[in-house]
A and B are shown apart, each in its own frame.
Chain A
């Protein structure tokens, strides 16, 4: 239990730091959302009108006051207003989050499926050339740019083969291509690490012992090798959450899907500080929680770690 408390404490420090650093960086950037939206000559507003707008957004007070205001807002769940959309940030997030969770969750699941299939098939496949071909797949996947993959999938499966519409698709159809687009590049590092650890574990002495006792290759792979090879893969999986968020930005833009990624892209383009601040904190929370979960899963998979923890 003290372990958990310590980890949660660390997580809170990370969040506070992420919040502050984001705030400082966003303040340090040239220009701001109000300048971008309202001082653009396109609107033809007078300096007095712009000053009024600044005051109404509370953007005319010193930065430290804005910081305190923002922090106190966040603590009670008030993330402020988006200057670009003129909408409360929590409303924007509430609309975007479910879409992105569905996309990222399924994307991750499919990525794991692809990675596991590629890694195991590349070990079990009958011919050397086939194993080699499967082994080289992750290398190809990892170098495919997400937006390019998205466009190619759309062109081929939607516009040419007309299998799934991009516009006016039902909720299930509308997920197929984006999930693939997100999953393929994410699956690559997972598959690489898994295949590599399978190789490593397969060479360890205990495997030789199990084999010597007469176990078949499939039993060795599934019961003995796989379990041990999973640990590094899970570590990587935790880190890949970041990739998922980045991938969602591009995927959602290409497919014109609502979601946190699209919201991020718009907020960055318009320096919509309130939205960015909330998104960074959201991303940090997800990151911290996932990594905490990964740490907690370790002892379950590897009993040795549990014994160590007890001994300590």
Chain B
């Protein structure tokens, strides 16, 4: 069933690669929002049709990292703070001001007046405390999990109706940014009494949030309708636009097939679509439509080398793999200029980034030297061998990553040139989920994670978080803990740089590119923007005459 489609993709990929080169030549700027200025004054009203790639699974904010979930949660919840997507500064939103003690173990927030949930109840200190008690501690009885963004949470205290204090068992410098993420979207206390299942598909209209929109209709797995709240009047004070959203409503429709999403946009049946594949970008922009490539500001799209696998336990082998992969060729062949080549394990737009490009440079000759030194000799079939064992490794196609299979196959070709065999496997979800937890079955792991805070690197590599390297390296854990517990901002950046230096030195990761979220928008759509990690933000969006 996949053959004609694969062929089509290949053909289009080739065309897109050509087009990408010409695009590179013509324009080098990257847009992260549709232009609000060129369309004149914003117009209130209208319904925008937004096409999603996959159906959402839950609206419980700590599990909103999945893009379809996050896209909804971002629009139906307000947060204590707002993170400017460009400067990454934390600004007031529902909280008007806050204080943090010296070792970042106590945060006190003053709340804005007249903020309400969509059922009319007031967003007061007690409600906010309940939100963070749930997100910080979880609720086992209800199946509600702890938010990945909140570390070391201990307790809350309602000081008065407008003041709430949170305490932590250890320094938690990432907490302020955590209050701005979709994972900390403020929900009504009653909603937080629901079981995890009751946040799932089919219950969306019952989720009471605090944002500019509210879900009013749902057809499970197919479509949602979000309507603007007329009484919404608590946009972050830094926004030019205050009051209710411009749009009356958003029709969110799930269209899994790429060609249907693109075709609907170009044929005027949809206004904004998510997940424009790299090979379709040229078709969209060529038709006069806008491509919005929003950076995800976190750990780059990269391949982790699981060093607990015996084949990868030798530093020289890992270094050889790192220098044997040409990320530039990957981007030039498969992607577009919206996918910048990685210069570190972190994106250059991420908090705490430091440039590692020199130490990570593509150098196949060096790779061959390193492998020779490590005692791996080229065998009869071109694959290196040592003591009768072949240097043959496996990686699984990662479904959430764009064009993962094509990317890994190209990497495999590159590694073949230095005598390393890389088998790219595709698996059903069950085998994949089981095998990626075993370094023997999955020595290389393709992934990324977005979050605009220094903590992001800890999320990806810490043994008690995502642990994508399946690490047993105590030194790495120690360095990562420092990032998540250093209260001083500049020292935190240093701690983050130390982690990147260490990852480079140990050759634990092959960074490939800075992964964006790519949206397509019709020319008459203005003010479409994304939050700091590229989730769609419809508050400022308005529709011109078609």
| A contact set with B: CB distance below 8 Å | 29-32, 35-37, 39-46, 49, 52-53, 56, 81-82, 84-88, 91-92, 95-96, 145, 147-148, 151, 154-155, 158-159, 162, 165-168, 250, 253-258, 262-263, 266, 269-271
Contacts and interface: CB of A to CB of B under 8 A. Distances in A.
Nearest to B254: A256
B346 interface: no
Interface of B: 1, 4-5, 49, 51, 55, 57-58, 63, 65-66, 138, 140, 143, 145-146, 148, 196-203, 219-223, 251, 253-257, 259-260, 263-264, 266-267, 269-270, 400, 428-437, 447, 449, 459, 464-468
B257 A151 contact: yes
Contacts of A87: 197, 200-203, 220
A88 B459 CA distance: 32
Nearest to B265: A167
Contacts of A56: 143
Given A31-B429, A151-B260, A256 B222 contact: yes
Given A42-B466, A162-B267, A256-B260, A95 B58 contact: no
> What are the nearest 5 A-B pairs in CB distance?
A86-B200, A31-B430, A258-B222, A41-B466, A86-B197
Given A39-B437, A44-B466, A91-B202, 15 more contacts: A30-B434, A35-B433, A41-B467, A41-B468, A53-B143, A84-B57, A85-B202, A92-B220, A145-B1, A148-B4, A151-B257, A154-B260, A168-B251, A168-B253, A253-B257
Given A49-B138, A151-B260, A85 B200 contact: yes
27 contacts: A30-B434, A30-B435, A31-B431, A32-B430, A35-B433, A37-B57, A41-B466, A43-B63, A43-B148, A53-B143, A56-B143, A81-B197, A86-B57, A86-B198, A86-B201, A87-B202, A87-B220, A88-B197, A91-B202, A95-B202, A154-B259, A166-B263, A250-B1, A256-B256, A256-B260, A257-B222, A258-B222
Contacts of B1: 145, 147, 250
Contacts of A39: 433, 437
A52 B143 contact: yes
A167 B222 CA distance: 11
Contacts of A32: 430
Contacts of A166: 255, 260, 263-264, 269
A68 B145 CA distance: 29
Contact of A167 (B57, B259, B269, B466): B269
B388 to A, nearest CB: 30
Nearest to B466: A41
Contacts of A159: 263-264, 266-267
Given A154-B263, A253-B257, A43 B197 contact: no
Contacts of B5: 147
A35 B138 contact: no
Contacts of B428: 29, 31, 269, 271
B219 A43 contact: no
B197 to A, nearest CB: 4
A46 B434 CA distance: 16
Given A31-B429, A49-B145, A84-B57, A165 B199 contact: no
Given A158-B267, A266-B55, A86 B429 contact: no
Contacts of B146: 45, 49
A256 B197 contact: no
Contact of B434 (A35, A85, A155, A168): A35
A283 to B, nearest CB: 18
Contact of B430 (A158, A266, A271): A271
A162 B263 CA distance: 11
A28 to B, nearest CB: 11
A33 to B, nearest CB: 8
Contacts of B259: 151, 154-155
Given A42-B449, A168-B49, A86 B466 contact: no
Contacts of B196: 86
Contacts of B197: 81, 86-88
A128 B251 CA distance: 53
Nearest to B203: A87
Chain A CB within 10 Å, residue with most, of B66, B143, B254, B459: B143
A32 B254 CA distance: 25
A42 B400 contact: yes
A86 B269 CA distance: 31
Contacts of A165: 269
A42 B269 contact: no
Given A31-B433, A87-B201, A158-B267, A262 B222 contact: yes
Contact of A36 (B260, B429, B447, B465): B429
A50 to B, nearest CB: 9
Contacts of A148: 4
A164 B254 CA distance: 18
Chain A CB count within 10 A is highest, among B1, B203, B263, B431, for B263
Nearest to A52: B140
B267 A96 contact: no
Contact of B221 (A30, A154, A263): A263
Contacts of B255: 166-167, 256
A255 B254 CA distance: 9
B192 to A, nearest CB: 15
A96 B221 CA distance: 9
B4 A86 contact: no
Contacts of A31: 428-434
Contacts of B203: 87
Nearest to B270: A167
A98 B414 CA distance: 51
A36 B433 contact: yes
A199 B272 CA distance: 55
Contacts of B433: 31, 35-36, 39-40
Given A41-B466, A44-B465, A262-B221, A30 B201 contact: no
A167 B49 contact: yes
B430 A253 contact: no
Given A95-B219, A258-B222, A269 B429 contact: yes
Contacts of A84: 57
A266 B221 CA distance: 9
Nearest to A82: B200
Contacts of B145: 43, 45, 49, 53
A65 B321 CA distance: 48
Contacts of B222: 256-258, 262
B257 A256 contact: yes
From A86, A96, A155, name the one whose CB has the most chain B CB atoms within 10 angstroms: A86
A29 B429 CA distance: 10
Contacts of A91: 202, 220
B222 to A, nearest CB: 4
Given A165-B269, A271-B429, A86 B257 contact: no
B175 to A, nearest CB: 16
A46 B429 contact: no
Contact of A44 (B138, B143, B148): B148
Contacts of B256: 253, 256
B430 A29 contact: yes
A169 B429 CA distance: 33
A268 B260 CA distance: 22
Name which of B66, B202, B203 has the most chain A CB atoms within 10 A of its CB.
Answer: B202
Given A168-B251, A270-B429, A86 B270 contact: no
A31 B428 CA distance: 9
A289 to B, nearest CB: 25
Indicate the member of A41, A46, A87, A96 with the most B CB atoms within 10 Å. Answer: A41
